[in-house]
Amino acid sequence: MGPRGKSRLPSKCEFRRALAALAVAILAAAPLQAEGAPEPKMEAPARVAIDLSPSGVLRSFRPDEAIGAAFDGAMKGDIDRQMTPANIKAMKSANLRPLTYRLRSELGIEAWHWNPAGAWSDPRHQQGYWTSSAELGAPIQLSWGYRLPRRGDSEDNANDDDYSRLDDGDPASFWKSNPYLDPEALKDGEPHPQFVMIRFEKPRLVNAAVIDWATPHATRYRVQYWTSFRKIDPNARWVTFAGGTVDAGKGGRVELALGKTPVNTRFIRVLLLSSSHTAPAGSTDWRDRMGYAVREVSFGLRGPDGRFTDWVRHHRSPKTQTFSHVSSTDPWHRAVDRDVQLEQPGIDRLFASGLGFGLPIMVPTGLLYDTPDDIEAELRYIAKRRYPVKQIELGEEPDGQYAFAGDYAALYVKAADRMRGIIPGAVFGGPSAQAAYTGTVMQPEHPGRWTYWFVDYLKRHRRLDDLGFYSFEFYVFDNLCGDLHPKLIEQGDKLALFAHDIAADGVPRSIPWVISEYGWSAFSGRAMSEMSSAELMSNIVGQWLTLGGSTAYMFGYPPGSAINQLNKCAGYGDMMLFLDDDGKPGAPLPIYYTAKLLTERWTVPGHGEHQLLSTRVEGAGRKLVAYAVRRPDGKIGVLAINRSAHLTYKLSLDGLDGPGEADLYGARQYAWKDVGERSHPVRDEPPAHRTLPAGPLTVDVPPDTIAVIVR
């Protein structure tokens, strides 16, 4: 979920901002405003105390398992541009060895044809449910997502250029729920109700509904309103209209009188409880009769004269139709639905590139918008190729799609049952949550955090052992305007809170905890290309390992260009190792040099075991943090990050005597000029290397600087 079209949408960011504010408010930390204020002193002493005794070892890790990068889908033509030999060589030079392959089509509510060769369930009409071929053939270079013509969402988390069929004004189109979530298909003993929801821009008086059912229709359903004008309201609930209870639904066009007194509301939900399990005439596919299908919905006000005023705007555009959201979507589609603007690198191309350094790669599958047959074929293909894989991530960001946690968990368990053992030694995991703190929006029956209810399902069904790793994405802020120094400190607070929440939600400590993507924001801005991106990256890696995390994957691997997506005041930049120079790697950016400091100076490259040591910083408040490791060559590596805008810290390392070495990377080496799409570095030098003399180790660490000291 990073920038470049993979951005969170303003309507969904509304929820993330509210919870982020709540998270910061409950932290017992000093006011952040004071941390970012101008400081009267220009120099100050600081001390790093490292516990070198056996009791000071916090944990062990290996760099080629812990410090990695993510490679994502891209826009049309970008994969060929990104995966040139020169670019691949440049990316590999950052020495970020663990690799995760991200699945952008899942964010776009699209089915992934991971292999362009395959078969349709209805081959005569080139439509239906697609299964890519597991047979080996010519190496797969590119793959694509396919839009779902039975979609019910007005928005998505990728390109956001499709629309809901619930209010598109087309009587021939319809939304249909995922047939694999029908209780008859799941057979897990749970009801798995589905829903459609409408959100008005402003409150409306509603006393009538019109529902045009497709096949299958609901025989039992409830038409409900939300008791608040805000979607995030802990005191709100869904209330069934006085006339909104239907227990013997007949399908077709249904007009409902919802009550004598109109209700003033912004949100309306149709909760679907029982299906007719009927199929269209001539159907031979069992999936056609599973779930629910709706052609169009209207909600409005019927006056005393019988005239109906429909508040729903019916258009074939997400920008003009009334916002709608659904619980799930049928992965049925057609050959003509290929999204030519969205590409994924082919599986063979990715493994052949060497970006994974020959190590096991975390690979994705679809889940919410795919079929079990297609998932199985993908894993069998990978097994036949004997590609190294140790972790299989099922789906991506189901919480960001506002799916019921129990629905995702049920699909997860079914996939694990069917796919277990196809790739020997590989484990299943997920959900690649959009954030560790994602709440169950407008689900008062499941209050709190989404992950809690995901784990709850696994526990109740005694399937927690099927969670081989837990993954989430860590994009710290939406808005990157203003002074970033307080935000650098707040980032540490957030990550600590997330680790606490993951444990509180019941995720076992015994499995790997993975940050599957991280960066400043899901929206681009100058911060991603300024020195602050280096401070952010280094602290996320050091802190996550200290908190017990397994791996942190940096987002922004290929060369890119400066863009702005949401807030103009955030300026221009992006997450990238290099600027793109006409398809070649151009100027290196801060996260490139930071990656090399983390993988080649703070740690020793490769698989050697590193011990993370208990480290304490004194005299710097929260502006300077440090992380120390005992490397396999016996040396001590100290990573120090000065997050002050003005203060140079005269840093002493207690218990360590020189000679030693120091590498410093900061504002003296790098500066970014924000000039729109032509933004570029105006100072771009590698870290400064210094030899430290014998005696007590001391290093001056200037403002906005990363220092790695090795003794």
pLDDT, tens digit, 9 for 90 and up, residues 275-312:
999 999 999 999 999 999 999 999 999 999 999 999 99
- 364: nearest Cα among 102, 660, 687: 102
- 551: nearest Cα among 211, 67, 208: 67
Say what the pLDDT of residue 24 is: 36
DSSP-assigned beta bridge partners for residue 130: 120
- 574: nearest Cα among 78, 115, 242: 78
Q: Which residues contact 503 (CB under 8 A, 6 or more apart)?
A: 509
From CA 91, how far away is CA 555, in angstroms rounded?
A: 12
From CA 68, how far away is CA 434, in angstroms rounded?
A: 18
From CA 420, how far away is CA 426, in angstroms rounded?
A: 9
Residue 602 exposure: Cα atoms within 13 Å on the Cβ side: 33
Q: Which tokens belong to 584?
A: 């070649």
Average pLDDT over residues 637-656: 96
Say what the pLDDT of residue 481 is: 95
More confident residue, 254 or 4: 254
From CA 351, how far away is CA 361, in angstroms rounded?
A: 8
- What whole-number percentage of the chain has pLDDT above 70? 94
From CA 372, how far away is CA 420, in angstroms rounded?
A: 12
Cis peptide bond N-terminal to 364, omega within 30: no
* DSSP element (H, E) containing 693: strand 688-701
Per DSSP (E only), the strands in 307-388 are: 308-310, 323-326, 333-334, 338-345, 361-365
From CA 58, how far away is CA 616, in angstroms rounded?
A: 13
Neighbours of 301 (CB within 10 A): 15
- What whole-number percentage of the chain has pLDDT above 90? 91
Average pLDDT score, the chain: 93
- Cβ atoms of 711 and 635 within 8 Å: the answer is yes
Say what the pLDDT of residue 159 is: 85
* DSSP element (H, E) containing 378: helix 372-385
From CA 629, how far away is CA 57, in angstroms rounded?
A: 9
From CA 366, how far away is CA 344, in angstroms rounded?
A: 13
- Cβ atoms of 590 and 696 within 8 Å: the answer is no
Which of 3-12, 38-47, 506-515 tops mean pLDDT? Answer: 506-515
Average pLDDT over residues 436-442: 87
Average pLDDT over residues 70-83: 96
pLDDT at position 16 over 70? no
Say what the pLDDT of residue 33 is: 35
pLDDT band with cut points at 50, 70 and 90 for residue 437: confident
- pTM of this prediction? 0.93
Q: Which tokens belong to 466?
A: 């099927």
From CA 214, how far away is CA 66, in angstroms rounded?
A: 50
First to last CA, the chain: 39
From CA 646, how far away is CA 628, in angstroms rounded?
A: 24
Model confidence pLDDT, tens digit, residues 234-260: 999 999 999 999 999 999 999 999 999
- 268: nearest Cα among 303, 240, 289, 236: 240
User: In this structure, what DSSP letter does residue 526 have?
Assistant: G
pLDDT band with cut points at 50, 70 and 90 for residue 9: very low
Could you give the domains of the chain? 10-38+62-143+340-607 (3.20.20.80), 175-330 (2.60.120.260), 617-710 (2.60.40.1180)
From CA 478, how far away is CA 487, in angstroms rounded?
A: 11
From CA 259, how far away is CA 463, in angstroms rounded?
A: 44
Rg (CA), the chain: 27
Say what the pLDDT of residue 436 is: 79
Residues present in the chain in total: 711
pLDDT band with cut points at 50, 70 and 90 for residue 15: very low
Q: Which runs of consecutive H residues, i.e. helices, occur in 505-643?
A: 531-546, 590-596
pLDDT at position 35 over 80? no
From CA 543, how far away is CA 532, in angstroms rounded?
A: 16
* CA distances in angstroms from 549 to 145, 510, 557, listed in the order given: 32, 11, 21
Say what the pLDDT of residue 282 is: 94
Say what the pLDDT of residue 2 is: 53
- Tokens 């997450």 correspond to what residue? 575
In our burial notation (b when 16+ CB lie closer than 10 A, e otherwise), range 577-607 reads bbbbeeeebbbbbbbbbbbbbbbebbbbeee
From CA 531, how far away is CA 666, in angstroms rounded?
A: 7
pLDDT at position 216 over 70? yes
- Cβ atoms of 560 and 576 within 8 Å: the answer is yes
Q: Which tokens belong to 400?
A: 């960001």
Model confidence pLDDT, tens digit, residues 490-528: 999 999 999 999 999 999 999 999 999 999 999 999 999
Q: Which amino acid is at 322?
A: T
From CA 196, how far away is CA 293, in angstroms rounded?
A: 10
Say what the pLDDT of residue 277 is: 98
User: In this structure, what DSSP letter does residue 40 have?
Assistant: S
User: Helix 10-25 crosses helix 485-504 at what angle (to 10 degrees)?
Assistant: 90
Break the chain down into helix, strand, coil percent, rounded to 5.
Answer: 25, 35, 40
pLDDT band with cut points at 50, 70 and 90 for residue 41: low
- Cβ atoms of 205 and 283 within 8 Å: the answer is no
- Cβ atoms of 412 and 181 within 8 Å: the answer is no
Q: Taking the mean position of all CA atoms in its chain, how far away is CA 109?
A: 14
- Tokens 């916090």 correspond to what residue? 58
- 494: nearest Cα among 543, 430, 551, 548: 543
Q: Which residues contact 277 (CB under 8 A, 6 or more apart)?
A: 184, 216, 289, 290
User: In this structure, what DSSP letter does residue 677 have?
Assistant: B
Average pLDDT over residues 138-145: 98
Q: Which residues contact 405 (CB under 8 A, 6 or more apart)?
A: 398, 399, 440, 446, 450, 451, 452, 453, 454, 456, 457
Say what the pLDDT of residue 565 is: 87
